[in-house]
């Protein structure tokens, strides 16, 4: 089995007040300009990767947000959680 994002739950991420979604094998996140799609991508990167120094000057600082990403497939029959 491969590794995949199972669930994302984030609050107060720029224009995104609340985003809770269960994911399947293929997903598309879409929206109007300035609706928070890029901030959501930055949140995912910062949550999953420890060494993000090379991206730091590219990331915006939305402030006051909190969230959790659940990953399936890192360990057999277990869902791993990453929280900011």
Cβ(69)–Cβ(13) below 8 Å: no
pLDDT of residue 56: 64
In the chain, what's the furthest Cα-to-Cα distance?
39
| pTM > 0.85 | no
Distance CA 70, CA 80 (A): 6
Residues in the chain where the model's pLDDT stays below 50: none
């Amino acid at each position: 089995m491969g590794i995949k994002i199972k669930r994302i739950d984030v609050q107060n991420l720029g224009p995104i007040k609340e985003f809770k979604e269960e994911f399947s094998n293929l997903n598309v996140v879409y929206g109007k300009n300035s609706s928070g799609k890029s901030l959501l991508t930055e949140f995912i990167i910062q949550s999953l990767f420890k060494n993000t120094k090379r991206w730091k000057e590219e990331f915006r600082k939305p402030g006051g947000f909190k969230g959790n990403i659940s990953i399936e497939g890192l360990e057999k029959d277990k869902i791993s959680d990453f929280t900011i």
